Structure 1
Amino acid sequence: AGSIFASAEPFAEGLVHTGTKLGIDEFVLVQWLAPFASEAPEFLVAGILAYRGRATVAMGALLSSKVNQWTLLIGGLPIAYAVSGGHVEGLPLDLRQKEELFLTAAQSYFALAVVMSLSLSGREA
């Protein structure tokens, strides 16, 4: 846990600095590129498991990661905001953030539908 806290800020600052130099919007970097970097180990492990013929275990690893991301982490945002602000208040979101939140909710509903059907087609993947 200590290594995560020690490396999180330098990673984020480096990402924003590089994006600024390349002319990439800061929001796009944080919302889309950072998750790819932070989730790369999960994809690597799932890829290795699938390559070794353990596709079910690989899908389970990816699924548990997404369940965490789409439920616990999203649900924790307002709690972290309330605790850090010292009072309970609605989470202030601009239009872009609201759209991203709705996109995450839509992904959650899609994932729920896929899991409930107990099958995964090539199109759903």
Structure 2
Amino acid sequence: MRLLINYTIFAVVATVANIGSQDISIRLYDGLYSVFVSVLAGTAVGLIVKYILDKKYIFQFQVKNVAHDTHTFVLYTVMGIITTVVFWGFEFGFDYLFQSKEMRYTGGIIGLAIGYYIKYQLDKRFVFVTQGT
């Protein structure tokens, strides 16, 4: 139960980092493709925040060196591509349907919640595994 609570808290932290980065991005750049640029920025920030929290506090994963950490992060990112499709589908879908920033962010939050559940399952099986287990 403690793992579920911690994972949920960290998912909320990463979601706030993601949506907050999007909002900052939109405020700084409101030109052509600004929504797409903001979603990319939020995705990158959320990915890094979530990786650090998951690695240390959820999976208590110890990397051997920088190369191992880089390999783990790349694998984490690859698994994240699947969940990013879910997240972006909701965010861009809500943006298209409702054409408002608030509903776009609502879609993003829903997509992130679903994506983080899927991501945990993928990370547990494929990313944060110790050799020989």
Q: TM-score, length-normalised on structure 2?
A: 0.36
**RCO comparison, higher one (Cα < 8 Å, 6+):** 2
